[in-house]
Structure 1
Amino acid sequence: MLDTLTLSTFGAFHTLIALVAVACGIAALVRHGEIATASRSGLAYVVLTVATSVTGLFIFRHGGFGAPHALAILTLVVLAVAYVAEKRGRTGGLARYVAVLGYSLTLFFHLIPGLTETGTRLPLGSPAFSSPEDPLLKALVGVGFVVYLAGAAWQVLRIRRSSRIPVGVAAR
């Protein structure tokens, strides 16, 4: 049973940077209402999420290439699209929505392996989930996606409101 909890040094490093990335992403959302590389917390989130995704490609706990590796690649693609959109769309057009929603989507992506790896290992002796296919795990990921959708809707409304305010006029 202890083997299911034991992480390699590389796995521990990967987990640590993922946890710091998530903390930075949450900090950016709380402070700024969005994740963007213009803020230190947003930039740290993006850089650490890239590092998390890249290091995740070298972890093969469940055998060969699998769903976690596909998620890492998808995360890198979404981050690249969001970054390009962020650099091109600073005002409020479609690119701004793509950037904000893309970065937030990658925060949701962190939830999937986080719940899976933690829930299939803990508590010791009786893990919360029997496997990555456990129906309760899938339900929790579904709830996380609904939370993402609610947050995305809030972010869209926030962008719409801010794009209607003339330049130089403070929001009331």
Structure 2
Amino acid sequence: MFGLTALGTFHTAISLVAVVAGLIALFRDKAISPNNLVGKIYIWTTVITCLTGFGIFRHGGFGKPHVLGIITLVVLGIAALAGKTKLFGRASRAVETVSYSATFLFHWIPAVTETSTRLPLGQPLLSSAEDPALKAATGVLVLLFLIGATLQVRRLRVKA
């Protein structure tokens, strides 16, 4: 299906669960939190997405998607550390919130890349992951993340 292996199909399915959980958390709670069920689903399916991604080598060997998986796991670790300790002082809550949101952005980068270079079948929207239109789409995603993160931090300051 869509040129995916069994591992690729599982990876895609679990990443879709993570994205849906992330959307629910962000729209409902304005943040991804490990303190509720939807947040826990998001975090664990994101971890599984990263781990399964390490076994996918569509473009040869170890590449940018694998690096993004490592970065995602590190940022999840930073978020958990910020949420459980005061390592970041007064900024701990903001570091936790923005870090979880950053991992949500990290889901969208390969999602847009893989979708636009695979679909529609037989004549994908973009010819490769290096297409300038894809770089522009990634820029839009980063801008949306920055706007969202700013709103989240402002919301945290109002609560404090």
TM range (shorter): over 0.9
> What 5-or-longer segments of structure 2 have no aligned partner?
none
Asked if the contact 1:57/1:72 (under 8 Å) is kept, the reply is yes
Q: Which has the larger radius of gyration?
A: 1
User: Does 2:124 align with 1:124?
Assistant: no
Map Cα deviations across residues 8-65 of structure 1 (whole Å, 9 max, x no partner). Answer: 1111000000000010011111111100100111111001000000110111111000
Q: What stretches of structure 1 move > 6 A for 4+ residues in a row?
A: none
Map Cα deviations across residues 73-124 of structure 1 (whole Å, 9 max, x no partner). Answer: 00000000001111125xx921111100000000000011101111101112
The residue number in structure 1 matching 2:91 is 94
Q: Distance in 1 between matches of 2:116 and 2:15?
A: 16
Q: Distance in 2 between matches of 1:82 and 1:134?
A: 32
Task: Find the partner of 1:58 among 49, 55, 58.
Answer: 55
The number of aligned residues is 158
Q: Distance in 2 between matches of 1:93 and 1:18?
A: 32
Asked if the contact 1:36/1:86 (under 8 Å) is kept, the reply is no
TM-score, length basis structure 1: 0.89
Task: Find the partner of 2:143 among 142, 146, 166.
Answer: 146
Secondary structure of 1:93's counterpart equals helix
Asked if the contact 1:68/1:113 (under 8 Å) is kept, the reply is yes
Seq. identity, %: 50
Q: Distance in 1 between matches of 2:145 and 2:108?
A: 10
Q: Distance in 2 between matches of 1:121 and 1:33?
A: 32
TM-score, length basis structure 2: 0.95
